[in-house]
Amino acid sequence: MSLYELKEVARSLGMPAFTGGQMAKWLYSQHVRTIDEMTNISKANREKLAEQYTVGCMPPVDCQKSVDGTIKYLFPTSTGKRVETVFIPDNDRATLCVSSEVGCKMNCLFCQTGKQGYEGSLTAADILNQIYALPERDRLTNIVFMGQGEPMDNLDNVLRATEVLTADYGYAWSPKRITVSSVGLRRKLQRFLDESECHVAISLHSAIPEQRAQLMPAERGMSITEIVELLRNYDFSHQRRLSFEYIVFGGVNDSTAHAKEIVRLLRGLDCRINLIRFHQIPGVDLHGADEKRMESLRDYLTAHGIFTTIRASRGQDIYAACGLLSTAKKIEDARRQ
């Protein structure tokens, strides 16, 4: 809940409005697990609150640890489903890859989450719980909405969650510590750009519309050229960052001709590109490009004015790397139990 909503809860139960501010501090600064821990609220008022509300903190039900230190957590949701979250430590940085949906509607060819199908949107509480109940919460330096689901497809709850993360009454994080990804749902992306100051990452994967449509069905409903034209209306030359995610498939989108199309599409746009290694998924005839090809693509793009990096692959051995998240089997196992 926002500070305004917490104050309304207090008023509705006959408490002073400042009790809402006390609740916000207990929730977002102290991370209490129960209402009874809010000790500067009278016992009688805590009992009133507990009759109708809970903190909602739900710890992960499972975790897997990679040889590289990455940890994948399985969190319960308010609807009884489960969702995966990935904690990625890297020296003095620690990034959390959070999910916004159970499964995904976008059905990108190369993504295991897309093969799961769409099973429901997470509430703002479900999204925040991935942070609130994370054992390593106090080590976090960055959050990326790049887990299961398309964030713009669940925009209201994503915005509610990022408000709490960035508001003074909440976690008080700078929005520059948060990156929200999208395949490019134009109207919702525009609303996000207008209502949030968080970084934006666009899933590109090909600058050729016909090929991108084969990889990403969302292209048929909203062309990447239209998305780029929308992005040109916003200023990314200061602190807010725009990036494009580009999974490199061997023999598919890794040629110099593909690089030239990227330069043509993004010319004049203040942005960067993250090249991502492809991780094989069952039933998909795509393969990752070799290291030499990845480096050649990076060097070409950088030489033509687009800052480009090759993203380190993390957590592949526990299926926590990019495109590998899926709770389909875990949900089915839970149903059988």
Q: In whole angstroms, give the CA distance from residue 71 to residue 314.
A: 10
8 A C-beta contact, residue 204 and residue 245: yes
- Distance CA(284)–CA(282), nearest Å, equals 6
* Rounded Cα distance, 63 and 292, in Å: 34
Sign of the C-alpha dihedral computed for residues 5, 11, 14 and 18 taken in this order: positive
Q: Is 322 a catalytic residue?
A: yes
Name the nearest CA neighbour of 88 among 145, 140, 151: 140
* Distance in angstroms (rounded) separating the CA atoms of residues 23 and 327: 33
How far lies 134's CA from each of 34, 59, 91, 160, 200, in Å? 16, 7, 19, 19, 24
51 is catalytic: no
The Cα-based distances of 248 to 66, 70, 106 in angstroms read 23, 22, 19
Q: Give Cα separations from 315 to 246, 276, 278, 320 (angstroms).
A: 19, 13, 13, 5
Residue 185 and residue 238 in contact, taking contact as beta carbons nearer than 8 Å: no
**Residue 207 CB contacts under 8 Å (≥ 6 apart), including other chains:** 224, 258, 261, 262, 264, 265, 266
Question: Which one of the listed residues 84, 101, 150, 219 is annotated catalytic?
Answer: 84
Burial class (CB in 10 A: 0-12, 13-18, 19+), 220: exposed
Q: How far is CA 202 from CA 44, 102, 251, in A?
A: 50, 20, 22
Which residues are designated catalytic? 84, 322
